């Protein structure tokens, strides 16, 4: 089943409260708070079990002007066993974030759990101009308790002022992800990616050539990640 959210935020008329167009779909956006100071908080809620075989979710976020959009996910997402699907289908999860004219976007993602037998493609695309900043946290957990976890392929494309900042493809399928250069046997990959600013230097921080940073943590249990406090 296909579902799409088109989330649009701009400063509103005459400097008043920011204007928010939430869009509609099986994955639903709900406005939690809108402040005259220019901060908008939106929660993403699933209207039914996601992701199942054949599901395609697309979240398209665009923020224009001096507005700070905070996106929260009150609950994580579980991708379920898809091996019984007669058509052999997998699932997709695509996120696109565009920020321009002084916008700021903070996305606080909850764990994306890939259960045994799942086959998922996940793509993240972020574009900012020279005056905007996007901070995005993505947490991947391979398998529920007692599981090994299914196949996940991720694609990340980041640009600033039209120039590439980061291009990364990861194959987190069984038999591939356990290599030393990938997950080295860990089941949790937690990432904090910032475009338009830099995170403080640290042993787990990659400073990109363009203005941006990636901080990552690998571990056995998502709740042990230090990134939640960043």
Q: What is the tens place of the pLDDT at every residue in 79-112?
A: 999 999 999 999 999 999 999 999 999 999 899 9
Q: What is the tens place of the pLDDT at every residue in 38-95?
A: 899 999 887 777 789 999 999 999 999 999 999 998 888 999 999 999 999 999 999 9
* Residue 214: predicted pLDDT: 97
Structure tokens at 149: 């976890």
Q: How far apart are CA 43 and CA 218, in angstroms?
A: 26
C-alpha separations of 123 from 41, 120, 138 in Å: 23, 10, 11
**For the chain, what's the residue count?**
230
What confidence category does residue 146 fall into, taking pLDDT thresholds of 50, 70 and 90? confident
Q: How far apart are CA 165 and CA 158, in angstroms?
A: 5
Q: What average pLDDT does the structure give for the chain?
A: 90
What confidence category does residue 19 fall into, taking pLDDT thresholds of 50, 70 and 90? confident
From 85, 33, 93, 42, select the one nearest 63 (Cα to Cα).
Answer: 42
Whole-number CA gyration radius for the chain:
18
**Peptide linkage before 51 cis (omega within 30 of 0):** yes
| Bridge partner residues of 112 (DSSP) | 77, 140
For residue 168, pLDDT over 90 is answered with yes
User: How many angstroms from the chain centroid is the CA of residue 69?
Assistant: 14
Angle (nearest 5°) at CA 153 between 147 and 158: 130
What confidence category does residue 33 fall into, taking pLDDT thresholds of 50, 70 and 90? confident
Question: Checking DSSP bridges between strand 2-10 and strand 19-21, what pairing results, if any?
Answer: antiparallel
Please give the DSSP secondary-structure letter assigned to residue 47. Answer: S
C-alpha separations of 63 from 93, 96, 128, 133 in Å: 20, 11, 10, 11
Average pLDDT over residues 16-26: 69
* Residue 24: predicted pLDDT: 61
What global pTM score does this model have? 0.91
Please give the DSSP secondary-structure letter assigned to residue 26. Answer: S
Q: How far apart are CA 138 and CA 94, in angstroms?
A: 13
């Amino acid at each position: 089943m296909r579902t799409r959210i088109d989330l649009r935020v701009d400063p509103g008329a005459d400097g008043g409260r920011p204007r928010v167009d939430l869009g509609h779909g099986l994955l639903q956006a709900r406005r939690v708070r809108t402040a005259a100071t220019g901060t908008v908080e939106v929660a993403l809620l699933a209207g039914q079990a996601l992701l199942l075989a054949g599901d395609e979710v697309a979240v398209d976020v665009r923020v224009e002007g001096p507005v700070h959009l905070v996106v929260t996910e009150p609950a994580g997402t579980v991708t379920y066993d898809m091996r019984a699907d007669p058509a052999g289908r997998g699932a997709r999860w695509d996120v696109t974030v565009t920020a321009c004219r002084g916008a700021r976007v903070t996305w606080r993602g909850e764990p994306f759990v890939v259960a045994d037998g799942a086959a998922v493609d996940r793509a993240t695309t972020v574009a900012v101009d020279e005056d905007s900043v996007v901070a995005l946290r993505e947490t991947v957990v391979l398998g529920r308790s007692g599981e090994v976890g299914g196949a996940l392929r991720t694609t990340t494309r980041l640009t600033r002022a039209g120039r590439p900042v980061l291009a990364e493809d990861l194959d987190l399928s069984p038999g591939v992800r356990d290599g030393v250069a990938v997950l080295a046997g860990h089941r949790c990959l937690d990432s904090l990616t910032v475009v338009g600013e830099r995170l403080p230097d640290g042993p787990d921080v990659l400073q990109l050539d363009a203005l941006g940073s990636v901080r990552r943590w690998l571990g056995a249990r998502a709740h042990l990640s230090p990134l939640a406090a960043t």
